Amino acid sequence: MHETAPLLQATNVTKKYHGEAVVKNISFETNTGQVTAILGPSGSGKSTFLRALALLEPIDGGEIRFEGQLVGQIQKRGRRVNASERQLASHRAAIGMVFQSFNLFPHMSVEQNITLALKVHRRGTTSENRHTADSILQKVGLSGFSTKFPSELSGGQQQRVAIARALALGPKIMLFDEPTSALDPELVREVLKVMESLAEQGMTMIVVTHEVGFAKNVASRAILFDRGEIVEDLPPEQFFSPGNSERTRTFLEHVL
């Protein structure tokens, strides 16, 4: 059973803010190596759903399983309750998250940003971790940047460091929330290239994005979100084909 369990599986997930559901009863699963692009209008719940998958938001209904194991909730006296922050911490280590606004730690050098998680999870000696940081930095095309501070980097470089930081613990899946939306247009390419090479190396990814090119060429699956629901879930060739549903066409006309 466990070999066949999806890598990440959300079942009937609901998330409410102030009594109003912004993610409505969503079921979604993804397997190793799949690259999913999530598109949809602003305010449709894409970020909220991604944060729920990253175990950063307690959910109000449904469940999330990672490799078949229930995460985010625990059984307590026969009832399911949300896990505490302490319990969630170890589960989160297997899931990498990249944010629209980078969220690098400004008081730490690039290397310290990358090795912090290794340090707190006691994953290796200082010199081993420095090595890990160097090799990940090479992957994102930033060799030699380890002593720089975030304030000394361009937006594109910062986002690549944020990707490197998320990769440090060796996550099995990477979640990206509009990773290029805060970037100047000329810096978008370098970040997408890093994501593309990650996908080529077989990384499982879920990417909320408005980059149609990326969704078409890199993703193996495209999803349309609308008002807290998945309204379309297709291979990109079909998703972007003219014969697609009215709703998707309307949305795409809007972005393009």
Binding site for other proteins (CB under 8 A): 51, 54, 56, 85-86, 88-93, 95-97, 99, 101, 103-107, 109, 116-117, 120-121, 147-149, 151-152, 162, 165-166, 169
The answer for residues whose C-beta is within 8 angstroms of residue 243's C-beta and 6 or more apart is none
Neighbours of 133 (CB within 10 A): 23
Complete DSSP assignment for 11-55: EEEEEEETTEEEEEEEEEEE-TT-EEEEE--TTSSHHHHHHHHTT
Specify the DSSP class assigned to residue 241: S
Binding residue for ligand ADP, selected from 10, 22, 118, 153, defined by CB under 6 A: 22
User: Which sign, positive or negative, has the C-alpha torsion 231, 234, 236, 240?
Assistant: negative
Task: Give the x-and-dash track for 22-51 against Mg ion (CB under 5 A).
Answer: -------------------------x----
Q: At its nearest, how many Å lie between other proteins and the CB of residue 148?
A: 5
By beta-carbon proximity to other proteins, the closer residue of 4 and 84 is: 84
Using CA atoms, how far residue 239 sits from 8, 39, 181, 219, 247, in Å, is 22, 11, 22, 11, 11
Q: Which one of the spans 4-12, 38-46, 89-97, 187-195 is the region binding ligand ADP (CB under 6 A)?
A: 38-46
Least distance from ligand ADP to the Cβ atom of residue 45, Å: 4
- Using CA atoms, how far apart are residues 156 and 188, in angstroms rounded to an integer? 7
In the complex, minimum distance from the CB of residue 47 to ligand ADP, in angstroms, rounded to a whole number: 3
Shortest spacing between CB 46 and ligand ADP, in angstroms: 3
Per partner kind, with CB cut-offs from 5 to 8 A, the member of other proteins, ligand ADP, Mg ion, none near residue 151 is: other proteins
